[in-house]
Amino acid sequence: MIKIEKRNDVPMALYFFTPFIAIVLTILGGGIIFYILGFNPIEALKFYFITPISNLYGFSELLLKATPLCLIAIGLSFCFKSNNWNIGAEGQLTFGAIVGGGVALLFYNQEGFYILPLVILAGAIGGMIFALIPAVLKTYFNTNEILVSLMLVYVSKLLLDYLVVGPWSNPEGFNFPETRQFSESSRMPLLFEGLRIHAGIFLALAAVMLSWFILYKTYLGFQIKVSGLSLKTAKYAGFKGKTMILVVFMISGACAGLAGVGEITGPIGQLHRMISPDYGFTAIIVAFLGRLNPFGIIFASLVVALTYLGAETAQIFLQIPKYTGQVFQGMILFFLLASDYLLFFKVKILSLKKNELRH
């Protein structure tokens, strides 16, 4: 007979250690999969996790991919900590990119120091507005934010599709589904010559610091913490529940919008259909792997970014589809949830003998 019991006291140190266990298990699991597919697992894992970051360019690419993941996950941590399940960051990213990109296109043939800040601001506001839709529907009409935020992802993606093939498509672009190139003044400044890593990383780092301050040092952070642990208590304490829902969604949407605008003004430089390889969804894994802790999220975003890079390298060297990256991301989440379960519950196997004695 198997009995599952809640553990009374879970040590905090272990709570922050289990993500590492999950990562190790993911690597082992990956090795097994590669072995089954007929590859030498050690070799394959080396292509996956070592080769991509063995030179400066690779390291810059890692930071480049980690930047949007980190930004989005930071925003999501506000929602998740307060029991609001915003899973539509991908949509907020896309809408932020549309609004920011729209502003950049307005200035496509102009230069000026004020243009980039305007574009960034527009992106953040775009994401914020888009995140307000599920928030307002939840607070005033009792809808489920999971469904609404998820469905809005497809709305924004279709809107982007329509814009890049229709009204915003490049008049000189031979009907390719893309807009004009943004002007130099709308582009994120590059940090190093020849590398793609850009100033957007400072936005992500600023978001980390700011979110740490808000979550741990302000009344808003305290309210978020209490609401996440017990909605009953939040109600009893008289927190303004509706306002808080709106605020956390706005923060989350703004971060996703910033991530979107960072992509299009950074490595991409225009709007087209494929501005994000599902960063908005993957960031959910990043947020949980980082334990919703701002500094944990930095670490988690680097790990998950590596799965994107590894998948690309593996595609080139091993001729396996780059979607294996998603397999690894899925495994991370699976092993994290599994180790959490074992962390919070203990499984007791009662021997039959003992059982018989009792009767």
Partner 1 sequence: MATDLRISNISKIYPGCIANDNVSLQFKSGKIYALLGENGAGKSTLVKILSGVISPDNGEVFLNEKNLKLSSPLDAKKNKIGMVFQHFNLFDTLSVFENLNIDATEDNKSLRLRINEILKKYNFSIDLDVPVLNLSAGQKQKVEIIRCLLRSPKVLIMDEPTSVLTEQETEELFISLKKFCDEGILIIYITHKLKEVLSLCDEVAVMRKGKVVSVSQTQNEKVETLANKMVGQKLAKIRKKINISKNKDEIFKVKHLNFYSDDPFETNLVNLNFSVKKGECLGIAGISGNGQNELFQILSGEIITPNTSIIFRNKEIAKLNPKQRREYLMAFSPEDRISQAAVPELKIYENVALNNFKSSNFFEKGLVNERKIKEHSKKILSDFSVNTDNVELKSQFLSGGNLQKLILGRELITAPELLICYNPTWGLDVGAINYIHETLIKINDQEKSTILISTDTEELLKLSDRIAVIYKGKLSKIMPSEEVTPEKLGVLMGGGSID
Q: Can you give the binding site for partner 1, defined by CB under 8 A?
A: 216-222, 225-226, 229-230, 232-233, 235-240, 359
Cβ proximity of 21 and 338 under 8 Å: no
Task: Using the minimum distance from each CB to partner 1, give the nearer residue, 110 or 230.
Answer: 230
- In angstroms, give the least distance from the CB of 150 to partner 1: 21
**DSSP secondary structure string, 305-343?**
HHHHHHHHHHHHHH---TTHHHHHHHHHHHHHHHHHHHH
- In angstroms, give the least distance from the CB of 160 to partner 1: 36
Distances (CA, A) of 139 to 136, 241, 243, 247: 5, 9, 9, 12
- In angstroms, give the least distance from the CB of 72 to partner 1: 25
Task: Using the minimum distance from each CB to partner 1, give the nearer residue, 14 or 50.
Answer: 14
Task: Using the minimum distance from each CB to partner 1, give the nearer residue, 15 or 176.
Answer: 15
The separation between CA 160 and the C-alpha centre of its own chain, rounded to angstroms, equals: 20
Task: Using the minimum distance from each CB to partner 1, give the nearer residue, 106 or 226.
Answer: 226
Task: Using the minimum distance from each CB to partner 1, give the nearer residue, 54 or 233.
Answer: 233
Task: Using the minimum distance from each CB to partner 1, give the nearer residue, 171 or 238.
Answer: 238
- In angstroms, give the least distance from the CB of 318 to partner 1: 45
Cβ proximity of 297 and 71 under 8 Å: no
Kindly report the backbone phi and psi dihedral angles of residue 134, in degrees, each rounded to the nearest multiple of 5, phi listed first: -60, -30
- In angstroms, give the least distance from the CB of 233 to partner 1: 5
| Separation CA 255–CA 235 (nearest Å) | 28
- In angstroms, give the least distance from the CB of 349 to partner 1: 16
C-alpha angle 39/44/48, rounded to 5°?
A: 150
